[in-house]
Amino acid sequence: MSHLSRDERLLAVDDVLEAPRAAHLAACEGCRAEVAALRGVVARVRAVDVPEPSPLFWDHLAARVGDAIAREPRPARGRAWWNLPQWGWGLAALAVVAAGSAYLAARPPATPAVAVLRSGSATGARAGATPTLSATSTEAGDERDEGWGLIAAMADETDLTPGDATALAPLAGQSELSISQLSRDERAALIAELEAELAPRSGREG
Amino acid sequence: MSDVWQTRFPWPAPFAPHASTMGGAPSDRVAMAAVGTVDGGIDHGALDDRALVAATLAGDRAAFDVIVRRHQRAIYGICHRFTGNHADAADLAQDAFVRAYRGLARFKGDAALSTWLHRIAVNVCLTRVSAKTPVADPLEPLDPVDVRGDRPDDPLRRAQDAALVKAAIARLPKKQRLTVILRVYHELPHEEIARALGSSVGTVKANFFHALQNLRKLLADGARP
């Protein structure tokens, strides 16, 4: 049987060596001497005490720490969600966008419908400016979507004033992250929506 | 705000500084018991470490004073065994607690606060002492005494042996030294030492084994008459 490994010798020092190896230790003079030497070192090290400082030292040390941290700002709060309203706002905004995108992706030819459902008058303008969108827009515009109606109603009821100041603008990098997680169809829907948004402005500017 | 606060914590919103926070008069500080303080009706000593951390993060510095008083012996002990002298140990212990205060929000609570404080103390020792190498006493500071004598309780012999051991520990590489301190004196399991040192468990075991082998050789050399 092989001699005790390094880890086994440490286990033997702590008296927690497993039975089969303990049997070897009992039978092997070399391993026994090695473990005894290590135990002797540990015992000598353990016997050395830290000198007990003055009884007043502990109050003194606490006071020193107190004086030092009195000059420190209050430690930053943890990053629990309830401590970061920006997270809540940002995530809520992302959830709305993701839910909308997913819904659009799940509904075949619904991708450009966003532009149509926003406003009937805008639909006409967009339809004229971007013929490629007009056909589907007209189709979608005829069938008013209940899901988007709900989202639109929620958006209308949302007070954006605090959101502007806090976090309806998503945190840095979160928009990219959200976009990177969209499916192909969702991305197509997003692109179509952006095109629909940009087209009339281009027309007015042009 | 105060209503929300009261639903979360069993003590008043503490953003106004308390009269007996650690910035208070020394007499106030001395009056604080080592176990805990009663401040504005709050018995900080009755709170566990996590509640004290939460209170500190909420602005209650008196809660951090209780954390310091609870753990200062252990932290000072690590620093003293590492540096080998009181003055440096006191400086390092203070530094460790100040760093802990600054980074308290990073304490996740998934391990004991003592483990987290050990880790900070270890880091303070590793970083601060790297710039100021501790003075290692010679292995034979006094007339050497044969420690194999037949009077193990002789105070002179024990003092001699303690000096030899301390000198030998001071000669260990820093991570081996801290591993010995945390394992032998603080009896931490290898896993906790690994967390404190930012190493793997295997590395900790290797460090401990090599430390014991080095000490064995150093002590054998030092004990030789």
pLDDT one-digit tens code per residue, A54-73: 989 999 999 999 999 998 88
Strand ranges inside chain B, DSSP E: 38-39, 42-43
Taking Cα atoms as reference points, which of B154, B211, B142 lies closest to residue A41?
Answer: B211
Q: Which amino acid is at B223?
A: A
How far from each other are the two terminal CA atoms of chain B, in whole angstroms?
73
Does any CB of chain B come closer than 8 Å to the CB of residue A63? Answer: yes
pLDDT > 70 in chain B, percent: 69
Taking Cα atoms as reference points, which of A182, A69, A172, A140 lies closest to residue B22?
Answer: A69
CA distance B79 to B91: 9
Residue B43 bridge partners (DSSP): B38
Q: Which two tokens stand for residue A111?
A: 């991708």
Chain B hits for A16, Cβ within 8 Å: none
pLDDT for A87 equals 57
pLDDT for A164 equals 43
Residue B104 clears pLDDT 50, i.e. is over it: yes
pLDDT for A187 equals 83
Chain A hits for B23, Cβ within 8 Å: 66-67, 70
pLDDT for A78 equals 53
Q: How confident is the model at residue B150 (pLDDT cuts 50, 70, 90)?
A: low
| Domains defined along chain B, listed by start | 2-131 (1.10.1740.10), 155-223 (1.10.10.10)
The stretch B101-106 carries a mean pLDDT of: 92
More confident residue, A81 or B149: B149
pLDDT for B98 equals 96
Per-residue model confidence as pLDDT tens digits over B116-146: 999 999 999 988 755 455 555 555 544 544 5
More confident residue, B176 or A95: B176
Taking Cα atoms as reference points, which of B102, B201, B214 lies closest to residue B169?
Answer: B214
Please give the residue of chain A at the shortest CA–CA distance from B161: A44
Q: List the single best residue of A14, A50, A64, A77 to mutate versus B (max B Cβ within 10 A).
A: A50
- Least-confidence region, from B16-30, B98-112, B153-167: B16-30
Spatial contact of A196 and A112, defined as CB atoms under 8 Å apart: yes
Chain A hits for B94, Cβ within 8 Å: 61, 64-65, 68
Distances (CA, A) of B131 to A2, A132, A155, B128, B134: 44, 70, 59, 6, 9
pLDDT, averaged across chain B: 77
Per-residue model confidence as pLDDT tens digits over A27-48: 999 999 999 999 999 999 999 9
More confident residue, A170 or B17: A170
Residue A138 clears pLDDT 50, i.e. is over it: no
How far from each other are the two terminal CA atoms of chain A, in whole angstroms?
90
CA distance A4 to B102: 46
The stretch B54-78 carries a mean pLDDT of: 93
